[in-house]
Structure 1
Amino acid sequence: MTSISSRRLSKELMEIQNGGCPVGIDLEKADDFQCWRFSLEVMGESLYQNEKFTLQFRFDQQYPISSPAVQFVQTEGRQIPVHPHVYSNGHICASILGNEWSPVLSVIAVCVTLQSMLASCREKRRPIDNDRYVKHAPDNPKKTQFQYDDDTV
């Protein structure tokens, strides 16, 4: 890790550990500055009520200049959410993780955005091109050039 990346992640981790997680978001793993995991639960009434998901962040040397690689992962007792912007391999089609990423955004800001995305969902379904995408998808979701053309779900 570069010193900028390490300093930024140290600062974010300290804020999280000092109570900086909103309701429904909990840090599960942050053993290093390469990979962090959070549990994510949508609060209030939604299609995902009483469901918990695991969100994984992978950081490269360029963070926070470049976005983290963020995806939902399947863990014991938790599935990947069925959502029009979440592929069955956990990759997320969200502009905040691509062309609208900004270094002022934090890990918690991403978690809150994804929590909100799930909360506002009106129909549990996979993206239309799920099977084709998953068959050819790279391991790292950042290597995908998503089309951000549907913000109505």
Structure 2
Amino acid sequence: MTSISVRRLQKELTEIQNEGCPVGINLLKADDFQTWFFTLEVMGDSLYQGEAYTLMFRFEPQYPISSPAVQFVVSHDKQAPIHPHVYSNGHICASILGSEWSPVLSVVAVCVTLQSMLASCKKKERPPDNDRYVRTAPDNPKKTVFHYDDDTV
């Protein structure tokens, strides 16, 4: 990690520890500056009411110039939310994680955006190319070049 990355992540972690996270977002684990885990729950009336998901952030040495790799954790007892922009392997097709990333965005801002994305969803369904994508997807979602064409869900 570069000193810029470490300083930025230390600042974000200190703010989370001192001020807490918004409602429905909780830091689970941040033992280093490479991988952090959060729980994400949509608050209020939504299709995802009462459901909680785990998000994993992986940071590269270029953070915050480069976006973190963010995905929902999928395991034998956890699944990714069923959403038109979330693949069953946990990869998320969201422009803020790719072409619209900005260094002014923080880890908490990404969590809030994903929480909002779930809250505004009108229909639980997987992306149309889910099966093909999951079969061929790299481990790191940042190695995927997503095509962002639908911001209405």
Residue of structure 1 equivalent to 2:105: 105
TM-score by length of 1: 0.97
Q: Distance in 2 between matches of 1:30 and 1:79?
A: 21
Amino acid across the alignment from 1:37: F
- Are residues 1:13 and 2:13 paired? yes
Percentage of matched positions with identical amino acids? 78
CA contact (8 A) 2:42 2:118 kept: yes
Write the deviation string for residues 60-111 of structure 1: whole angstroms up to 9, x where unpaired.
0000000000000025753210000000000000000000000000000000
CA contact (8 A) 2:6 2:33 kept: yes
Write the deviation string for residues 113-151 of structure 1: whole angstroms up to 9, x where unpaired.
000000000000000000000111010000100000001
- Are residues 1:92 and 2:114 paired? no
Residue of structure 2 equivalent to 1:140: 140
Residue of structure 2 equivalent to 1:39: 39
TM-score by length of 2: 0.97
CA contact (8 A) 2:79 2:88 kept: no
Q: Distance in 1 between matches of 2:150 and 2:14?
A: 35
Shift of 1:152: 1.1
Runs of 4+ in 1 over 4 A off after TM superposition: none
Mind listing any 5+ residue stretches in structure 1 that lack a counterpart? Answer: none
User: Across the two proteins, how many residue pairs are aligned to each other?
Assistant: 153
Shift of 1:31: 0.4
Q: Distance in 1 between matches of 2:75 and 2:29?
A: 13
Residue of structure 1 equivalent to 2:68: 68
Q: Distance in 2 between matches of 1:146 and 1:56?
A: 19
CA contact (8 A) 1:52 1:78 kept: no
CA RMSD of aligned residues (A): 1.0
